[in-house]
A and B are shown apart, each in its own frame.
Chain A
Amino acid sequence: MSLDAYQILLADDDEVDRLFFKDAIDELKINSVLTTLNDGVQLMNYLNQKDVILPHLLFLDINMPRKNGMKALEEIRADGRLKDLSIAIYSTSSAKRDIEDALLKGANIYIKKPGDFEQLKKIISKAIKLSWQYHTSGLNKENFILSI
């Protein structure tokens, strides 16, 4: 039943990436609901709806038109209502500087986009499972940091 489902939100402007992502999640056995949005502006509008069900985990692409992932991340972390969202930033960069920058601005997970589908599935699965643990096992979210 969808009420028990793990709510996942994805903001990515690349349609192919969104499809891959959906396939990856479908292949995992986790009972989840995926909502996708196309850019940072859409994302913020979605999150700012009055009766929105906040996701357990938000995947945020760094490079998006109109409003990029980092900007959205900063806005979310500055908003008291959204502060507790677990956020996974993903990017094509694996530079230490970029990883640190995203984590410093409050991302919980930094994902380096992998080249192939199998790898992507593994990474998404790892991110979801860990975030699920933080959600269900009373772990201190302040210390929730992961780089994959």
Chain B
Amino acid sequence: MRYKTFQSKRQEMKLHVKYDIQTACKAILKEQLEQAGLLYKAINSSEVELKNQIGAEELAKLNANLKTYGIEILDDQKNDVIQKTKDVIIEMVNREEYLPPIKISAYIADKVKYSYGYLAALFSEVTFTSIENFIILQKIERVKQMILAGDLTLTEIAFKLHYSSVAHLSTQFKKTTGLTPTSFQSIIKKRRANNIY
């Protein structure tokens, strides 16, 4: 095949592109992680889960490489405080012998080392829920686990988690999940039997 004569003058050309930022970022993250030889479990929209711990030096290098693309690894002090607050609550609620401190707010403030007022405001701002609601949610999750384990009656669960009465527990359960403890139990059991989830 023979070439046709070249055009004497190069013509400029304009291309219009459209891109999906999420796909692009994910691809960049993938490429950079692989280039750094890091094994990862998952890349979410804003999180990367690494299989192994990496050193500060490696982390700094990765951060520097990502910065060329305008991506930054967050070392957010706010998030640390929130995480610590959550950990304190989760630990408190899931202790085998649950014994709520007399003043939960003072307890949390003492453990996290910030004033409760600051923590409460920060918590609501970042997690879209109040500390109080988070505690209720965690307690109801524990109630769910206990119901499903099937070792204790609802009355015993209420006692163990220091609810003033089984009625109080049932009301909070219904308010949080929209279901009664009994129908919750029946649904999960059937789901398990059918291998849904």
Contact = CB atoms under 8 A, between A and B. Distances in A.
A19 interface: no
Contacts of B45: 3-5, 7, 53
B68 interface: no
A133 B187 contact: no
A87 B10 CA distance: 55
A129 B187 CA distance: 23
Contacts of A139: 137, 141
Interface stretch (A9-17, A58-66, A114-122, A140-148): A140-148
Interface size class of A (residues with CB under 8 A): 20 to 34
Interface string A79-104: 00001000000000000000010011
A136 B127 contact: yes
B59 interface: no
A87 B129 CA distance: 20
Contacts of B178: 110, 145-148
Interface string A1-31: 0111101000000000000000000000110
* Secondary structure call for the B interface: helix
A140 B141 contact: yes
Interface string B119-155: 0000000011100001001100100110010000000
Interface residues of B, number: 32
Contact of B23 (A53, A100, A110, A147): A53
A104 B194 contact: yes
A138 to B, nearest CB: 8
Interface in B14-49: 21-23, 25-26, 45-46
A137 interface: yes
B187 to A, nearest CB: 5
Contacts of A53: 22-23, 26, 45
A51 B21 contact: no
A4 B197 contact: no
B145 A143 contact: yes
Interface of A: 2-5, 7, 29-30, 51, 53, 77, 83, 100, 103-106, 110, 128-130, 132-133, 136-137, 139-143, 145-148
Interface of B: 21-23, 25-26, 45-46, 86, 90, 127-129, 134, 137-138, 141, 144-145, 148, 176-179, 183-184, 187-188, 190-191, 194, 196-197
Given A106-B196, A143-B145, 11 more contacts: A3-B22, A53-B26, A83-B197, A130-B137, A133-B129, A137-B86, A140-B144, A145-B179, A146-B176, A146-B177, A147-B177
